[in-house]
Amino acid sequence: MWQNPTAMKILDDSVQLISATCPACGLLCDDLLVGNSTPISVKNGCPKSQIFFRQAVSNTSPSMFGVDCDLNAAVKAAGKILLHSSQPLFSGLGTEVQGMRSVMALAETAGATLDHMHSESTVRNTLAMQNSGWQTTTLTEVKNRADLIVAIGTDIVTSHPRFFEKLVWNADNLFNKATPEVIFLAATGNTSAGTSPDGHAPTIVTAETVDLPAIMSALNALAHNKKLDAHEIAGVSVTALIAVLAKIKAAKYAVIVWSVGCLKIPHAELTVQSITQLIATLNENTRVSGLPLNSGDGDSSINNTSAWLSGYPTRNRFNVHQRGGEFSYDTYHFSTQQQLNNCDALLWISTFNAYAPPSSVAPTIVIGHPDMQFTQAPDVFIPVGIPGLDQSGTMFRMDSSVALPLKAMRKQVLPTLSDVLRQIETLLA
Ligand code: SF4
């Protein structure tokens, strides 16, 4: 394992622990200590982080149509595909800030359309924010101030395992806040993490995801002091909803958490808007903030990088004939699903997870996780290092307020995404 003497802690003669930031979810915990001996030990990490740091490199060879080749040949083939393309789609985009900078540079040269693999979810939040604004908070504020957590449509810990440990049950807060209460307004999930260290169980209001639009509308009506001519809304008693509202109003700093990736319902953006409207209404008399959970695979980093370089998050397009000037943005037409019908080349990138590309009739270049498996071998596959494990990088936490460095934790045997993209770009220049 690669060793940085300045970041190393020696516990005994045999085990050296290196401090690390974990990129396996949007919390980006930076208190991990990762061992240098096999089996690799991960201190402070959750099971998800242990899987991340313990993964082995299974494949180091680029390939063309499933046949191994050297890196130069693969880069040349990828360059040729993009050179002959007039409407390439760069999708997946599972990477961190430095990788995304290289993606943007190549996209500008190639005139590509960009879409992140989780945009279908992210766009729901963006649409709600663009339409009416929102009041959201940061993880630091949750840690130091929140005295009530209301989780809507999510158990939180399935996607962000240490949320309660680090931000809710933490004793190291700045303002001596009371032990927070927790309410789950959600279908069944892992709600046990909402039980406080002193045994106080969370309030659970069971609500199916498909019913959340109606339930959120009812909560908004009640927040405006309307009387509902019903005893229950989609199976949830109005009395329970009134009790939830009363707890939010009584809290000093309530935080409403949702995961748009869990809202697999038509027009989920309207439900997000309903949540943000409730937050705005309640803020007239008390303090309530929203906290949207991210979907992962670098989505926050990718969209921030895209926004500062082009003015838009992904689902944007570089116009190759107006280099340095024109970008377009279209949350519907520039989706991967739509562009797969029109593009004449697909570049799929997934470095954190071995997510394979969608099926496409267009020539396909895949750059990403070495374990990626294909039902149909792409024209070109180039395995690259995993950020935070094989290579260094920078990543935004899910609240976008903090960017953290990722370290290379082991000897590098694969090129970085940026290395490969720069080589391809040289062929297009
Ligand atoms: S909670 Fe998330 S960031 Fe923290 S250790 Fe687990 S997977 Fe990594």
Atom number of ligand 1 nearest to Cα 47? 6
Rounded to an integer, the average pLDDT of 28-46 is 88
Q: What was the pLDDT predicted at 322?
A: 52
Question: How crowded is residue 266: how many other Cβ atoms within 10 Å of its Cβ?
Answer: 10
Q: What rounded mean pLDDT belongs to the chain? A: 92
Q: Whose CA is nearest to atom 6 of ligand 1?
A: 46
CB of 287 shorter than 6 A to ligand 1: no
Domain residue spans of the chain: 5-54, 63-118+297-403+412-428, 122-293
Q: Do domains 63-118+297-403+412-428 and 122-293 have the same CATH topology?
A: no
Residue position matching structure tokens 């242990």: 50
Q: What was the pLDDT predicted at 327?
A: 86
Q: Which of 46, 293, 396 is the best mutation target for the ligand 1 pocket, counting ligand atoms within 8 Å of the beta carbon and taking the most?
A: 46
Q: Whose CA is nearest to atom 5 of ligand 1?
A: 45
Q: Of 8-17, 108-117, 364-373, 410-419, give the lowest mean pLDDT range.
A: 8-17
CB of 215 shorter than 6 A to ligand 1: no
**pLDDT higher than 80, residue 159:** yes
Question: How far apart are the CA of 258 and the centre of ligand 1, in A?
Answer: 18
For 63-118+297-403+412-428, CATH number out of 3.20.20.140, 3.40.50.300, 1.20.1250.20, 3.40.50.1220 equals 3.40.50.1220
CB of 406 shorter than 6 A to ligand 1: no
Which distant-in-sequence residues (6+ apart) come within 8 Å of 227 by Cβ? none
pLDDT tens per residue across span 43-98: 999 999 999 999 988 888 999 999 999 999 999 999 999 999 999 999 999 999 99
Q: What topology is assigned to 122-293 in CATH? A: Dimethylsulfoxide Reductase; domain 2 (3.40.228)
CB of 414 shorter than 6 A to ligand 1: no
What's the start-to-end Cα distance of the chain, in Å? 37
Question: How crowded is residue 138: how many other Cβ atoms within 10 Å of its Cβ?
Answer: 16
Atom number of ligand 1 nearest to Cα 27? 3
Residue position matching structure tokens 């959201």: 136
Q: Are 240 and 228 in contact (CB under 8 A)?
A: no
Q: Whose CA is nearest to atom 4 of ligand 1?
A: 29
Q: What was the pLDDT predicted at 320?
A: 66
What is the Cα–Cα distance from 412 to 381, expressed in whole angstroms? 19
Furthest C-alpha separation in the chain:
71
Question: How far apart are the CA of 162 and the centre of ligand 1, in A?
Answer: 6
Question: How far apart are the CA of 71 and the centre of ligand 1, in A?
Answer: 33
Bridge pairing between strands 380-383 and 364-368? parallel
Rounded to an integer, the average pLDDT of 246-264 is 94
CB of 161 shorter than 6 A to ligand 1: yes
Burial class (CB in 10 A: 0-12, 13-18, 19+), 385: buried
Question: How far apart are the CA of 20 and the centre of ligand 1, in A?
Answer: 11
Rounded to an integer, the average pLDDT of 130-153 is 94
Q: Are 48 and 161 in contact (CB under 8 A)?
A: yes
Q: What was the pLDDT predicted at 216?
A: 96
Question: How far apart are the CA of 24 and the centre of ligand 1, in A?
Answer: 6
CA atoms within 13 Å, Cβ hemisphere of 292: 26
Atom number of ligand 1 nearest to Cα 48? 7
What is the Cα–Cα distance from 285 to 326, expressed in whole angstroms? 44
Question: How far apart are the CA of 296 and the centre of ligand 1, in A?
Answer: 11
CB of 384 shorter than 6 A to ligand 1: no
pLDDT band at 1 (very low <50, low <70, confident <90, very high): very low
Rounded to an integer, the average pLDDT of 406-426 is 94
Q: Of 141-150, 238-247, 403-412, give the lowest mean pLDDT range.
A: 403-412
Q: What was the pLDDT predicted at 15?
A: 63
What is the Cα–Cα distance from 62 to 394, expressed in whole angstroms? 25
DSSP one-letter string for 316-367: EEE-GGGTTT-EEE-TTTTSHHHHTTT-SEEEEEESSS-PPPPP-SS-EEEE
Rounded to an integer, the average pLDDT of 323-340 is 87
CB of 24 shorter than 6 A to ligand 1: yes
